[in-house]
Structure 1
């Protein structure tokens, strides 16, 4: 015996021919299964019944190309000297291990999968004669299928898992099973160490007090960090689909702490996670809550107006709130409005639209028996939008490799789900995503006040993420087509979270600005100037451009020292409720 085991003998020609047949048969089965699943997903005929579709000829050519390339792949496997290895492609983290290419069998499995995946997706693009919306659904379903059937997701077709199993004598599989059973018990995929973070201890730690509370939200007033503060306070509305502390993850990443350090009087709304007591809560209640928060801050500090920020769905609601205030002659109570990745026109709302049909709505109703939707359903929905990164990557690492969970504050927040009022959620999906009523003047109303976005003249700062898969930038852009007041649009690097939570100290990403009024996003980008780093300083300069008057940070500017006494320390009870 030696310390290093002898390498296994190379496979015989008979062995390789057998594996060629097995892989070829597997390819055919997977391709047929993939098309069948996609057909079911969009309720269209399977490939054998596509003769009446205009794309039948391109599809037939795609199938010919598939088998031609398959034969070339098999020939390379049988005789590597016949042709060079597969050409360089975009790096794929699933196959980063050298074992995928060093072992001929796993190299064939990898290349076979990539070939199938490529042709499934190309087959979708070859289809003509079907509605664009149905083709979008088919494209989304195709990507989900090919991601799910990756050989990296299965123990016996992943060389890293097999090597780990031999190395640990199966301990990785036992540990992975333990992880899986724990996740099944709580009904949610775990992404990070569940014990690494505690709200108020190492996340959501910016000092402040809860100074106002309703059945729907708590209002947090943060302690000033400067001797003087901007006279016009800042009121932030985070989305109630998630916990507010995405804007206060830790001192280095916290937008809230940074804003306080820049001399702003900062207030943040912390929404209550829905329970049975909120079964009758609708969108009107959230609009009323935003107006209530505005008036509460104005009265506390004795100021005529506040600056506001609305993130995601809270930004959508802020747009409606501004329209309601304008209709009531109270638009001047909001000095400015900033929108983080918020949509008002849902005609180009992206892949989330694939989850809004009669079957999905029935499913949501069945899951909302107590008048609220369990937040774990929404977590699954958002994870599916990035299934390769947020589902299958963790299936491999947690369940197959049995790896320990890394501590990651962003993923802790991502898994800290929030329940949603069922009536509000259904109306939101139907009225906004499906029927796009918010941009139809008078189609929606709040407290008997018609909503017309064209009446909004509040100065607005609109931020979009260039790689945002939840609120695509061309969808966010459309807010510029409805508001009629002064507006600054900024396109930030990265996506829905990292594009927003990008502190200047990190020195990451970039943003684009264009002083000219552009007719569409493409024109904006064509004439835009790129600036390296965070867009936060640009926003702060824009804010100071409206009113840079300052006051002493004393009296009511100190949490709990004004007419509203401190109820409890930040971050409060609501953010901790489950």
Structure 2
């Protein structure tokens, strides 16, 4: 036992929004309503507001004569350039900005607004403060230096990038240079073949990479919100290749990118399609059982499938289930959720049913506003103020390869976050069968990320407690994606584990042991123990009933 605390994200909004917000959306009218509330607060209590204005004026006066009143966060990359501290003009502008932020927060905290209104106001103030940071202006010292070094061409390049994004990227700065990557050429290159296809998915079987292989196959279920190749980026990051080289037989689900024709696809539809895919994997390998691994919404899907199989008395088809940054308990505390009421939820459902789908670009914008300094203003500075191309980064390419959600599934997710049904036996019905996760008594392995802003680690921990069977929980030191892409050899990787799963995640963390390195080898040892006997590797892919149809990565992954 030792004194330690869970790290908090550097960027304040990182703990303000999460997966709930991306699914529900955030209406402009709800934000404007909070702004109006703040304006009315200022008009209703002029003396109170004048007091804080005078306090700000006093601080600005001290800043003007050269006092340094506020310290910047040493991890805040926006002000890492020494010019912000050494140049008198830049030091004063930064101090004025920090003084304004502090006084605005004090004005909100000391107001007589109800607690929920204060929380909403803090959320808006944080987003506003990030947007108005002096680093986002042309006076940014990095922009000035680039302007001089480029002979003025950086300004014209930045304007061209801005114009292009306004026309072709919904006004959002691009995060990645997409010309550097191509799926099937330098992403998702592990050899394999599509062995099964239905309207909703393709099932890929990969070629073995070991002399011996385990009998029970592994079926990987990616989230419906993104494409599958997060598990198969470059060879050194490929989770698929890591599994193959360690003797596992690997099958991958590649979800189809739906359009308006598929508006009626719901959670039950995905569960039925996944059940068909697992039956194919069992038929090809000649094994009666499979191991499942699901990421994010894929974890919810494999949990629903197991609950459905349990209700049909067919759970023996599954040996184990691994959950990567997956929510089964959907109760998340988030200030942004205070903007969501019954009207907001119904409006979100109505919009997606009218369109047939929820566009992935809409979700991507909400995800970006979870961490605006990292995912918006950082690229604003790089692309527009410095006139540079965004970086060529495979993870960001995957993250920007958006997919859509069918309206029915979007509605199911909204109900999932609203009612939190998996915490109560029988409250969720899938394919006509009630789901009781406590009766899903297969062994499970869950992974969370300590800095995950999309699926917070303590909620993933609570989700683990909903499962029956032998449960294991590992807490990675990374964020949402980095928790999955955590190959051995990463010098920054470490994770926490505590065999005793208490009801309180903080108590679990306090007694957890920290381990250096990736969680992949720990999971591999765990999954190999549940993968049956080793045998000589069978190089053939598919069988007579399910012959190879097309080389990996298949066709569905290319649909836009």
Normalised to the residue count of structure 1, the TM-score between the two structures is: 0.85
Quote how far apart the aligned CAs of 1:383 are. 0.8
Query: Which position in structure 2 is the counterpart of 1:263?
Result: 247
Equivalent residue for 2:132, pick from 138, 141, 149 = 149
Quote how far apart the aligned CAs of 1:43 are. 7.2
Q: Residue 175 of structure 2: SS of its match in structure 1? A: coil
In 2, distance between residues paired with 1:102 and 1:508?
32
Quote how far apart the aligned CAs of 1:159 are. 3.0
Quote how far apart the aligned CAs of 1:509 are. 2.0
Quote how far apart the aligned CAs of 1:64 are. 5.2
Q: Which runs of 5+ in 2 are unaligned?
A: 1-28
Within a 5 Å distance, the mapping from 1:386-405 to structure 2 comes to 386-405=371-390
Q: Residue 474 of structure 2: SS of its match in structure 1? A: strand
In 1, distance between residues paired with 2:430 and 2:407?
18
In 2, distance between residues paired with 1:532 and 1:126?
44
Contact kept? 1:70, 1:115, Cα under 8 Å: no
Quote how far apart the aligned CAs of 1:289 are. 1.6
Equivalent residue for 1:488, pick from 436, 450, 472 = 472
State the Cα RMSD in Å: 2.8
Equivalent residue for 1:469, pick from 436, 442, 453 = 453
Equivalent residue for 2:64, pick from 77, 83, 92 = 77
Within a 5 Å distance, the mapping from 1:225-264 to structure 2 comes to 225-264=209-248
Quote how far apart the aligned CAs of 1:374 are. 2.0
Contact kept? 2:56, 2:103, Cα under 8 Å: no
Contact kept? 2:353, 2:407, Cα under 8 Å: yes
Change (3 A) 1:115 1:333: same
Query: Which position in structure 2 is the counterpart of 1:181?
Result: 163
Change (3 A) 1:351 1:305: farther
Q: Residue 242 of structure 1: SS of its match in structure 2? A: coil
Quote how far apart the aligned CAs of 1:448 are. 1.1
Find out whether 1:120 has 2:104 as its counterpart: yes
In 2, distance between residues paired with 1:196 and 1:39?
37
Mark the structure with the bigger radius of gyration.
Answer: 1
Equivalent residue for 2:397, pick from 405, 412, 419 = 412
Change (3 A) 1:45 1:516: same
Query: Which position in structure 2 is the counterpart of 1:4?
Result: none
In 2, distance between residues paired with 1:267 and 1:354?
41
Quote how far apart the aligned CAs of 1:511 are. 0.5
Find out whether 1:572 has 2:557 as its counterpart: no
Query: Which position in structure 2 is the counterpart of 1:222?
Result: 206
Query: Which position in structure 2 is the counterpart of 1:18?
Result: none
Quote how far apart the aligned CAs of 1:477 are. 1.0
Tell which deviates more after alignment, 532-541 or 176-185.
176-185
Find out whether 1:45 has 2:12 as its counterpart: no
Query: Which position in structure 2 is the counterpart of 1:32?
Result: none
Equivalent residue for 1:516, pick from 490, 493, 500 = 500
Quote how far apart the aligned CAs of 1:72 are. 3.9
Change (3 A) 1:39 1:239: closer
Tell which deviates more after alignment, 261-270 or 279-288.
279-288
Query: Which position in structure 2 is the counterpart of 1:497?
Result: 481
Which structure ranks higher in relative contact order (CA pairs < 8 Å, sequence separation ≥ 6)? 2
Find out whether 1:458 has 2:442 as its counterpart: yes
Query: Which position in structure 2 is the counterpart of 1:11?
Result: none
Q: 1:227-270 CA distances to partner (integer Å, 9 max, x unpaired)? A: 11111110010001011111111001111111111110000100
Q: Residue 497 of structure 1: SS of its match in structure 2? A: helix
Quote how far apart the aligned CAs of 1:352 are. 7.0
Q: Residue 480 of structure 2: SS of its match in structure 1? A: coil
Query: Which position in structure 1 is the counterpart of 2:421?
Result: 437
In 1, distance between residues paired with 2:470 and 2:332?
23
In 2, distance between residues paired with 1:329 and 1:208?
33
In 2, distance between residues paired with 1:264 and 1:544?
8
Quote how far apart the aligned CAs of 1:344 are. 0.9
Contact kept? 2:451, 2:479, Cα under 8 Å: yes
In 1, distance between residues paired with 2:220 and 2:417?
24
Q: Which runs of 5+ in 1 are unaligned?
A: 1-36
Tell which deviates more after alignment, 459-468 or 174-183.
174-183
In 1, distance between residues paired with 2:211 and 2:335?
47
Q: Residue 327 of structure 2: SS of its match in structure 1? A: coil
Aligned pairs, number: 530
Tell which deviates more after alignment, 170-179 or 247-256.
170-179
Contact kept? 1:217, 1:272, Cα under 8 Å: yes
Quote how far apart the aligned CAs of 1:405 are. 2.5
In 2, distance between residues paired with 1:451 and 1:441?
6
In 2, distance between residues paired with 1:566 and 1:337?
27
Within a 5 Å distance, the mapping from 1:282-321 to structure 2 comes to 282-321=266-305
Quote how far apart the aligned CAs of 1:219 are. 0.3
Contact kept? 1:38, 1:138, Cα under 8 Å: no
Change (3 A) 1:404 1:84: closer
Quote how far apart the aligned CAs of 1:420 are. 1.4
Contact kept? 2:352, 2:407, Cα under 8 Å: no
In 1, distance between residues paired with 2:244 and 2:192?
11
Quote how far apart the aligned CAs of 1:63 are. 8.1
Find out whether 1:478 has 2:474 as its counterpart: no
Equivalent residue for 2:123, pick from 140, 154, 157 = 140
Quote how far apart the aligned CAs of 1:210 are. 0.6
Quote how far apart the aligned CAs of 1:323 are. 1.1
Quote how far apart the aligned CAs of 1:544 are. 2.5
Query: Which position in structure 1 is the counterpart of 2:25?
Result: none
Contact kept? 2:215, 2:285, Cα under 8 Å: no
